[in-house]
Structure 1
Amino acid sequence: MIHLILGNPKDIHVSHLTEALKERDSIVFHLNSRLLPVKLKAAWNSQIQNCYFTLTDGYKLRIEDIHSIFLRRISDPCVPSLGNSKQERIAFDDSMTTLRVILKSSPAFWVNNWEVSYRIHEEKPLQLVSAKKIGIKVPVTITTNDPEEVSKFAESNQKVIFKPVCGGAWTQTLTSYHLEPARLNLALKISPVTFQEYIPGTNIRTYVIDKSVYSAEVKSESVDFRKDKSCELIPFDLPDNICQQSLSIAKELGLVWTAIDWRLTPDNEYVFLEANSNPLFLYFERKTGFPITNELVTLLTKKY
């Protein structure tokens, strides 16, 4: 059984999952899209059996032979410097489109689907719309580069946090320093920002793998627990109805593998914050003992 992991083989999650799959007598290949088009060859043909990647070791991997694809990361192709930005843009677009066309022609089972992963990661505010649609409580949130909207939002909420629209930086608390008009105007001329009512309570992280649900309480005083190296992870019994909501969120977003962040309020109410379509899991697994790796391998080697 052949599996393809999209990502850099030096990534610890990639190497870990590779070894786990090999223990199940699987054959694993890696595709680092950053190597296209200089070190990675690709060919698409309307006869699907003739679509392939020629990997850096010379092996020709036909897409019809791949049983499952695990999407860890798709990096931008690295095109040669041509001294002409327009030509470089065309070369980049052609490389990315070729990559996308070949991979999407594959009959393999994806964890997770490329289009879904992109939408979930790059268009994070829409997650809240999807969750709210199926009856799940979400924080009041705006995404804007209009200073007036930010000021009104700050006045109408006791405490506000802000973060990048599609990720890449820490969540912070909005303060009078950030609201100073000249500073706010300058920041919002660079890009829109997502602002959200602060939800007091406890962080709960829930992993969904197919039909399995694993949760832990994240003990941290930080607004963004990801930067708190001293945070504790304690296995947590999620109520049955919230387990079902977790499965419903994954289904609504089109994910078979995700990490969901909740806030459990002092009133014992669960508020959905976001779902990650490409979550890190090794630290969580080590601290909780939950069989995340085994669940992922079972999902990837399942007969479809």
Structure 2
Amino acid sequence: MRTRPLGPSGLDVGAIGLGAMPLSLGAHPTEADAVRVIHAALDAGMTLIDTADAYCHDHTDIGHNERLVRLALASWPRRDGVVVATKGGLERPNGAWISNGHPGHLRWACEQSLKALAVERIDLYQLHVVDPRYPLEDSVGELARLHAEGKIANVGLSNVSVPEIERARALVPIASVQNRMSPIDRQPLHDGVLAYCEQHGLAFLAYSPVGGSYGVRRVAHHAVLCHVAASHGATPHEIALAWLLAKSPSIIPIPGASRVESAVSSARAAEIALTEQEIRVIDAS
């Protein structure tokens, strides 16, 4: 798979990464099957794995997804070529999703992630969401301290606006921004976040790139995507990913997968070259 730079980190990763969240939520696969999914993604060139401590059933299972990633990488022969991105700043009390940007919590979460992943330094640690109860400077300031201590190699942000990115960059170098983007959710094209990432050399990690759990059927039945897919012998989901790659060299889509077939399909999208006309037609849809 062709690669893209992970912002200013100095790391190159597969143009499409693996979103590991579906391996731990809902009717998720068995541990053995989850490892097979991760290995299939790596075999296909998806060398960026995105996880989070909060990808789990509830507060009793924090770090479940990270532990799956650790297990898969323990039996993977080329570990040095894999970049693991995780996140902190969300809690799961009784299965709810509650933000916690308190510096003390973020330090604890980062240290727990180090243990769950069995590493001394996390490749990319992202603030999962901005917590309005605490100044952003307090939350990111703690990540800056963890970065200075060598526990975090690169700092990223998720679910943020341009002003929030600027405030964070005043405290610590930012490698990436992870926001939702797909052909049916183009907010980053309109709110300035993608343009900001392009201008300042940050990677833009597009999550829910094929619509997420609520939009996946819309993508599957999207008339324009289906038409373009037919001409490439591809699926609408693969065309959605190819469109994202075509929109900006800063974009790295991170589609989720809970089956080997899904991971392999997502990886195929990196080899699809859309024509300018096809891109314009999707843009107009």
The question of a shared fold, defined as TM-score above 0.5 by the shorter chain, is answered with no
> Whose strand fraction is larger, Structure 1's or Structure 2's?
1
> Whose helix fraction is larger, Structure 1's or Structure 2's?
2
TM-score by length of 1: 0.32
TM-score by length of 2: 0.33
